[in-house]
Structure 1
Amino acid sequence: MNQLLRKLDLTSLRLFVAVCQERNIARAAERECITSSAVSRRISEIEALIGLPIIVRESRGISVTPVGATVLRHAQAVIANIEGMEAELSQYVTGAKGVVNVAASLSAVVQFLPEDIAGFRRVFPDVDIEVEERTSTNVLRSVREGGIDFGICNEIPAVEGLEPLPYRTDRLVLVVPAAHRLGTATTVRLADFVDEQFVGFGGDAALMSLLCQQAQAIGKDLNVKIRVRSLDALCRMVHVQLGVTVVPQQIGELYLNTLNIRLIPIAEPWSARSLVIVCRDRERLTAPAAALVNFLTNKP
């Protein structure tokens, strides 16, 4: 009996089940597209391993012995488990099940990802998504190092060498205290506020790099007095009149009803930014990651 695990194969069990269901070796062979002699040989091999008969061959078919009934019950359970495993594994292949690791910039996390991931989870409820918030520069570094499936960040020069896919666009606005001299302006240009005391991001945030580059392009330097690490803190610093700042419009709108601030559109091309999905090789993404990328890149 201890040889069963090593020598009893699934094909033999499947053929035995077919014989029991058809009550006839010839019909079972026809159903399974195999010769009757091959089926009979498989049955004999099972009987040899067990040491007892599992069917009785009769003139018009077969009957199952009590030993055969026990083998049949377990064979059906084994086959059902294998079929269940196949069905579950196919979910991974099609992207219906698994884990996806994503690194995303703050702008993407706050503005777009919550709703997009909620929509994806309605279609693929068994895919778990882990999102790490990082600066755009660190997103690209993580993608290159292979620590994540893919990243979402602002389209910056460092994206070269990776495979970028369009994701979303956002527009930057100036945020000022409600009583600020620019508070009633309908639009502004960088020259209108570049000399103001500025509240900015610390570290290597893509937004600060963009603002510094644009200021230098008009022969100025940003007068950054306070640096923080969250968009919420930026807006609150402006609320208490510690300076002005620039944020994506959708983020600024979250605070209009709770903080004493004004949002002013910036009438310059650089204020429109592109967010991209980046990966090293889209063709080598796992099925769940590919499913999420496909979902995100097909959003309106």
Structure 2
Amino acid sequence: MENLLRKLDLTSLRLFVAVCQEKNIARAAEREFIAPSAVSRRIAEIEAVIGLPVIQRQSRGIAITAVGETVLRHAQAIIANVEALSADLSQFFSGAKGSVRVVANLSSIVQFLPEDVAAFQRLFPAVQIDLEEQHSADVLGAIEERRADFGICNAIAGIEAFESLPYRNDRLSVIVPRGHRLAAAAQVRFADLLPESFVGLRGESTLSKMLAAEATKTGHTLDVRIRVGSLDALCRMVHAGLGIAVVPEQVGQLYVNALDVNLLPLAEPWAARRLVVLFRAREELSASAAALVNFLVPNRDG
């Protein structure tokens, strides 16, 4: 009984199961679209490997021997396991199972991705998503170095090196303490804010760079008194009266009712921003990554 794994093949076992189910070699051959002689040869090969008969040929069909009953039970289990393997693997090809590495900027993570990812996982619960936060410039680097399947960031210089799809639009607003001199304004211009003290984000965030660049265009330097590591901390610093801050509008809206602050739209055209999904090439995406991209950007062109 040594080396059964090498000597018994799945096709022979499948044909043997068919013969046992039909109780007739000719009917089994017809069902499996193969010649009866080929079925008989496969059965003979199984018997040669085992050294014992698995069926008894009769005038009107076959009878299964005790040995054959044992082989049948195991053959059915083997075939069922292979079919289950095939079904599981098909989920990877369809994108229903797998893992996806996504790198995204803070704005997309805070404003949009929690609800979008939750909705996707209700449809694809077997897909594991590894989401990493990075500044927009670092998102480009992660895609270039293949440290992520795709990224989400602001439409900044450099995205033209990749394939990109529109994800969401957001708008920058100013969050100020409720007693601030500008708190009642319907909207504000950036120039009106330059005398103020700001609360900013640590590191080289796209937002920090943009605000510094816009201030420089007018011959000013932003007075950033405090830098923090998150938008939540930034809004709380404003609530405490330690300065004002520019934030994505939907982020600010989360805190207007919870904190003693007001949210004022910025009037500048550059305050309207685009978020994009980008990747090296569509054909390089795994099935799961492609499924998530398609979910996030359902109305893409083409």
TM-score above 0.5: yes
Distance, in Å, in 2 between the alignment partners of 1:240 and 1:25 is 86
Counterpart in 2 of 1:216? Answer: 216
The aligned residue for residue 172 of structure 2 is 172
1:107 CA displacement: 0.8
**Unaligned runs of at least 5 residues, structure 1:** none
Aligned residue for 2:27? 27
Query: How many angstroms apart in 2 are the aligned matches of 1:282 and 1:194?
Result: 43
1:194 aligned onto 2:177 = no
Note the alpha carbon deviations across 1:42-76, whole angstroms, 9 max, x for none.
00000000000001111111111110110000000
C-alpha separation between the residues in 2 aligned to 1:258 and 1:80? Answer: 57
Q: Tell me what 1:81 maps to.
A: 81
- How far apart in 2 are the matches of 1:3 and 1:168? 59
Q: For residues 290 and 189 of structure 2, what CA distance do their matches in structure 1 show?
A: 40
1:97 maps to what in 2? 97
| Equivalent position SS for 1:160 | helix
Which runs of structure 1 show a deviation greater than 6 angstroms over 4 or more consecutive aligned residues? none
Q: Distance in 2 between matches of 1:27 and 1:254?
A: 70
Q: Cα gap change, 1:233/1:299 in structure 2, threshold over 3 Å: closer, same or farther?
A: farther
Does the 8 Å contact 1:56/1:63 carry over to 2? yes
Q: Distance in 1 between matches of 2:270 and 2:255?
A: 23
Aligned: 1:50 with 2:68: no
Unaligned runs of 5+ in 2: none
Q: CA separation in 2, counterparts of 1:224 and 1:101?
A: 34
Tell me, what secondary structure is at the counterpart of 2:62?
strand
Q: Distance in 1 between matches of 2:102 and 2:248?
A: 21
Task: Identify the residue that residue 134 of structure 2 maps to in structure 1.
Answer: 134
1:62-103 deviation line (CA, Å, top 9, x unaligned): 111110110000000000000000001111111111111111
SS at match of 2:256: coil
Deviation at 1:224, TM superposition (A): 1.6
Contact 1:3/1:49 (<8 A) preserved:
no
Aligned to 1:259: 259
Structure 2 Cα separation of the partners of residues 195 and 273 of structure 1 = 24
Q: Per-residue CA shift, 1:10-67, capped at 9, x if unaligned?
A: 0000000011111111111111111111110000000000000001111111111110
Q: Offset at 1:207?
A: 0.7
In structure 2, how many angstroms separate the alpha carbons of the residues matched to 1:188 and 1:88?
56
Matched, 1:147 2:147: yes
Most deviating of 36-45 and 155-164:
155-164
Determine the structure 2 residue equivalent to 1:14.
14
Query: Is 1:17–1:76's contact at 8 Å kept on the other side of the alignment?
Result: yes
* 1:175–1:261 Cα contact (<8 Å) kept: yes
The one-letter code matched in structure 2 to 1:222 is L
SS of 1:255 mapped into structure 2: helix
Deviation at 1:237, TM superposition (A): 1.4
Residue 231 of structure 1 is matched in structure 2 by 231
Structure 2 letter corresponding to 1:165: L
Q: Which AA in structure 2 matches 1:73? A: R
1:162: Cα distance to partner? 1.3
Query: What is the match of residue 244 of structure 2?
Result: 244
Q: Measure, in 2, the Cα distance between the counterparts of 1:33 and 1:123.
A: 38
* Equivalent-residue separation in structure 2 for 1:299 and 1:231 (angstroms): 30
Distance in 1 of aligned mates of 2:2 and 2:161? 57
**Separation in structure 2 between the aligned mates of residue 245 and residue 81 of structure 1, nearest angstrom:** 59
**Paired residue type of 2:115:** E
**In 1, Cα distance between equivalents of 2:217 and 2:266:** 16
Deviates more, 1:44-53 or 1:185-194: 185-194
- Code of the residue aligned with 1:156 in structure 2: it is I
Give the match's secondary structure for 1:274: strand
Give, in whole Å, the separation in 1 of the partners of 2:29 and 2:134.
Answer: 61
Tell me the alpha carbon deviations over residues 224-248 of structure 1, each in whole angstroms, 9 at most, x when there is no partner.
2221111011111111221111001
Give the Å deviation of 1:132. 1.2
8 A Cα contact 1:151 1:278, kept in partner: yes
TM-score, length-scaled by structure 1: 0.97
Q: TM-score when scaled to structure 2?
A: 0.96
- C-alpha change, 1:258 and 1:299, in structure 2 (3 Å) is farther
Give 1:299 shift: 7.0
Query: 1:232-281: per-residue Cα shift (whole Å, max 9, x none)?
Result: 11111111221111001111111112211111011121111111111111
What residue in structure 2 maps to residue 122 of structure 1? 122
Percent identity for Structure 1 against Structure 2: 61
